[in-house]
Structure 1
């Protein structure tokens, strides 16, 4: 399995610079050569991996918010920058693309999955040489079938363990339900009543 990093950048605004019915803002570069996986100068061009922003519906105290995705080495790199540096770069990017020199986000918030000691990244993917069977193997509980132990000791859930919906929240949820059902089935006697072992 492969494991990589995708981060989100949230920008809050006092006033929208986009139309009321706008849902997405795409950034289209004229020279596509800079969109290659290997960026020559990551310090100067990391923001070229931001392909656009999604307009969020206002929620509670948070009003006008855009969020963008950034992936790969650039996503890892921005975690080494201060929030002020990221805010400055993204603000300049939006000003260039819109031609509006007054665009000024009120606040920036970003995820930092790569440096989080409990996740070290954000999403799995089926890497070269892997297949759905590897996902199935990762989802197998311990002890493995055929061992002498009759109790389940470790179960695995999460998006990396769902063959059809890896890399998604949906896959994480479904795999959690799968393992809950596995426990219920394992500890429920044939009569159908829940065992006192639970």
Structure 2
């Protein structure tokens, strides 16, 4: 068995971490999430790739909270409201909760917030502004869950997910790519093939092997392998369900692929020749009170603009939901950047803010081999009583083992990727753990049948 890693990057992958000045910008994964029980953190720490998380850590959704009417909101009041919503989120993450009830995350947030604004705990803020703050928090959760609407998200997305304790937003010293490069150095170069697209997967019934229809540039060919571990995103598999699998996929796997949530998150990096913010600022969060501005609808799905570590001239806007996909469809980077500057001028009431001189943005929904960001547990997924472990079960073929003199189930097609990790879906450490799980499954198989694969 010849071991090979086939990975298809689109052309934009060449600027996954585009250089700007003396630092890096992350278009995709930004941080390591948590320390204890996080295998990727342990690996990165052992290889001296991460910054000291006690003094150099990430921040998001902080800074000046301002409205489209030019109001700068009271920090203490904002912190009280957000702390309450965080508390609701923590309660939703309690595994002991009955998550069998078909109720969306948005419903739970709203029901509890309605009680909160009637309580003495709520700060003296006018009702409209309170609900505007609530909407900002919901947009933040839409981005965090990688969904289009929090009404689509099941409580399972909170109860089944496990956090790794410790510091949450851990920076790499020189960007996320360094951990990938480090892993690649552990693997013989001749078994890694980039820009290789697997267009179709078939099973050779007579030989118990996997047939792949491969495209490498303009070259098309068929290749045969003993086993295949699929780590394609849920978004890609769903979009290509009818063509990617050239065999009858079990119905439970089809149901999971079709109903598992998978949305889009994008970042818009804005480089300003003359930064208008102060060195002590952390960011500018957008509290919309009305939607009658002469602006494209996608701007309302941005939560705000954060300062960027190591980049004194750069802000980053986070955007999710349908707005992220609409933003991607805008052809010109400059148009997107100029609109972002218009939003900043509106909220900060500062007409001197210039348009950015450089704009770099992600387009994950339009990346044909990813089709979004990462997975969540949707209401439709829960409604069909889906179980993610059914997706990670391999496609097997029964073959005779000379060693045991009996038939054994040979795992031909195995399923990995972040979505298949029961606890750590949506994370890079979940993706890593899923790959280790499937590799171990193959190791266990060969040990069981007393065979050694030829690597």
TM-score (norm 1): 0.77
Matched, 1:112 2:354: no
User: What does 1:22-61 align with in structure 2 at a 5 Å threshold?
Assistant: 22-31=281-290, 34=291, 44-58=296-310
Matched, 1:83 2:333: yes
* Cα 1:190/1:56, change in 2 over 3 Å: farther
What displacement does 1:178 show?
Answer: 2.0
* Cα 1:182/1:15, change in 2 over 3 Å: farther
2-structure distance, mates of 1:177, 1:64: 40
* Cα 1:63/1:89, change in 2 over 3 Å: same
What displacement does 1:89 show?
Answer: 0.8
2-structure distance, mates of 1:76, 1:113: 9
What runs of 5+ residues in structure 1 fail to find an aligned partner? 35-39
What are the superposed Cα offsets for residues 136-163 of structure 1, whole Å, 9 maximum, x if unpaired? 22222222xxx51443222222121112
Contact 1:57 1:64 in 2 (8 A): no
What are the superposed Cα offsets for residues 92-126 of structure 1, whole Å, 9 maximum, x if unpaired? 01121222223232211111122222122222211
Of residues 296, 302, 322, the one that matches 1:73 is 322
The 3-state SS of whatever aligns with 1:25 is strand
Number of equivalent positions: 183
What are the superposed Cα offsets for residues 34-69 of structure 1, whole Å, 9 maximum, x if unpaired? 5xxxxx99x7221011011232211xxx65322222
- The alignment yields a C-alpha RMSD, in angstroms, of 2.9
What displacement does 1:189 show?
Answer: 6.0
Contact 2:268 2:318 in 1 (8 A): yes
Contact 1:12 1:63 in 2 (8 A): no
2-structure distance, mates of 1:86, 1:97: 17
Matched, 1:197 2:454: yes
* Cα 1:23/1:157, change in 2 over 3 Å: farther
What displacement does 1:10 show?
Answer: 1.4
* Cα 1:94/1:197, change in 2 over 3 Å: same
TM-score (norm 2): 0.36
Contact 1:2 1:126 in 2 (8 A): yes
